[in-house]
A and B are shown apart, each in its own frame.
Chain A
Amino acid sequence: MTRRMLPFAVVLAAMALVPVFTPSHFYVNLTSQVAIAAIGALGLNVLVGHAGLNSLGFAVFPGLSAYLVAWLSTLGGFDPVSAGLLAIGGTMLVAGLFGVVALRATGLGFVMITMALCQIVWGAAYRWTSVTGGDNGISAVPRPGTGLLPLERPEVFLWLCVGTLALALIQLGRFFDSPMGVALRGTRDQPRRMSAVGYDVWRIRFSAWMLAAAWGAVTGLLYAWYHQFVSPHMMAVTASAEVLLMVVAGGAGTLAGPLIGAALVVLLKNLASIWIERWVMLLGCTFVAIVLLMPDGIVPGFGLLRAALARLRPAPAPKLVPRERADV
């Protein structure tokens, strides 16, 4: 295990040990929610942080896979595990189609197209009542689980979520360090130069899109099994905005950022639901506050703080040898 992964291992272990410290299902379930949200935020971070593609319709992936698994395992008559696999496969198919459409544009065009795509699927979930149940959604979604792995118990379900989160962290950490990850950041910063030196910018972006969609689909699966209920609200603009808030608040482009952001947003949302009713207002105010006060997010914010502290220490003596000019 590398030194960089150590803090993640400690945090994940702490999350997995929550049931040991408290018998209360409330905290166990809250931790599951954080883990599920963090997987989705990690997925969106591939697009926002590393590809420079600001998607405002990310909730469409969790939404599609949650609806698929819910429909397949209740009305479709599949058992939960094969319904889950089919749901992920189906979501990837639709994501491929949506990717071809959305990646016709970048920048603000991409923002608008992803938002419109998500709204169209939301509209289908909301209005196509004969299939999706409309506003009532689909309830009584069965969780998988056998004698060996009783997933209906909150602590076992939490371990599934934390285990999946660990997988996501390892896979994405390796991806970001890989040549592909570096090329992806290249297309974010200098698409024309990357194209000029022979990279297929579109294909790299499409791969990133599909990777994000895959983790989004996993989130949706866990979400449907956790709540055992799906409704159109999980694809509303506010839902996409919440995931984006997790990424931006934590720090886009970092590995720890989405995790911290997810914890913050889930805790804030739960606290808000206890004391005040106006979650949407709070969400809006948080957006405005983040943009005005902490535009880079928490993790880079800490980096800046550390740099500022380091500057207080005496700097090493300057080298006497004249340095080479950097610009030639």
Chain B
Amino acid sequence: MAFWVSQTLNALALGGLLFMLASGFSLIFGLMRVANLAHGALFMLGAYVGLALVKAGFGFWTAAATTAVLVGVLGGVIERTLLRHLAGRTLPQVLLTLGLAFIIADACLMTWGGDPMRLPPPPELAGAVRFGDVVFPRYRLFVIFASAAVALGLWLLVERTRAGAMIRAAVDDVGMARAIGVSASTLFTAVFCLGTALAGLGGVIGGPILSVYPSLDQDMLPLALLVVILGGAGSLAGAFVGAYIIGFIYTFGQVLVPDLAYVILFLPMVAVLAVAPQGLFGRRLG
């Protein structure tokens, strides 16, 4: 029993991290029709920058906030200077974001070396808590609640604020949103910053759980893609549900059939694509 409870909590923690990664990807995809393949690399960059800041003597929280801002600004620069010129052209966008992913990943390898490193959790969250016979790291509980808080915050932003109304309008029809006075240009940059900042924040938050190593981006990006394929591109609810489905399947897969943990991820994808090609919560995006 203790095994199932603690693995369920692990799955929730991984699902939360995947939500932070995939929600940004999905928001960008829904608004700009861009599959940002550099998202995994930005997640890893976030983890490395956070680690460097912690090592430089900053507190964990300061490091996390600074990293989110830095990665978000980097994302904004990428959108403004490079991606903007390629609007509507799928293949060049894919090549560009993939190229950036390689550059970022190799720059991380060059700067921080190839050894896996551990990002220490903040001291107030070190140690474990006990519920009966279940012992669970306090930090993972924090991740579960923090990601839920991020999800709630994003939902409030998109559904309950003026900026969110603009985003929803532009996702539905950019031309019409422009015509009624929404500045799509500003909105695109803002959402790209927000999405990449979430990836960077996810990297720092995930660092103590996943540890920080050179192929972290290649491990995380496919999981994020699966989340988006499952949940539907451009949908926050889809990213939320998809992230926890993948979190559960991957966590239990790793424990029960460690050799085939990756292969069983194939099953939910096939099942969902067979029923709904655009994902569980997705709409057909033009």
Contacts and interface: CB of A to CB of B under 8 A. Distances in A.
B271 to A, nearest CB: 10
Interface residues on A, range: 35 or more
A45 to B, nearest CB: 13
B98 A56 contact: yes
Contacts of B266: 117, 120
Given A104-B273, A124-B262, A284-B99, A54 B91 contact: yes
A145 interface: no
B248 interface: no
A17 interface: no
A291 interface: yes
Nearest to B40: A237
Given A105-B277, A112-B35, A287-B98, 12 more contacts: A56-B94, A113-B273, A115-B225, A116-B225, A116-B229, A117-B266, A119-B222, A120-B266, A237-B221, A245-B95, A278-B106, A291-B95
Interface string B213-230: 000001001100110110
A131 B185 CA distance: 52
B113 to A, nearest CB: 13
A284 B103 contact: yes
Nearest to A57: B222
Interface string A106-133: 0111011101110110111011111000
Interface string B3-18: 0000000000000000
Contacts of B33: 108
A244 B95 CA distance: 9
A291 B262 contact: no
5 contacts: A105-B278, A116-B222, A116-B225, A280-B109, A291-B92
A101 B263 contact: no
B270 A109 contact: no
A280 B263 contact: no
A123 B95 contact: no
Nearest to B33: A108
**Nearest 6 A/B pairs, CB to CB:** A123-B262, A287-B99, A284-B102, A119-B222, A284-B103, A281-B106
B235 to A, nearest CB: 13
B90 A108 contact: yes
Contacts of A130: 259
A200 to B, nearest CB: 17
A245 B222 CA distance: 20
A42 to B, nearest CB: 18
A52 to B, nearest CB: 9
Contact of B99 (A54, A101, A116, A286): A286
Interface of B: 29, 33-35, 37, 82, 86, 89-92, 94-96, 98-103, 105-107, 109-110, 218, 221-222, 225-226, 228-229, 233, 258-263, 265-266, 269-270, 273-274, 277-278
Given A105-B277, A290-B95, A127 B229 contact: no
Contacts of B233: 108-109
Interface string A289-325: 0111001000000000000000000000000000000
Contact of A113 (B109, B229, B261): B229
Nearest to B282: A109
A159 B212 CA distance: 46
Given A56-B94, A288-B96, A112 B102 contact: no
A127 B261 contact: yes
B82 to A, nearest CB: 8
A127 B82 CA distance: 37
A64 B106 CA distance: 27
Contacts of A116: 222, 225-226, 229, 269
Contacts of A295: 89, 92
Contact of B86 (A117, A119, A245, A291): A291
Contacts of A111: 35, 90, 94
Contacts of B262: 119-120, 122-124, 126-127
Interface in A63-101: 101
A238 interface: yes
A284 B225 CA distance: 20
Contacts of A129: 259
Contacts of B89: 295
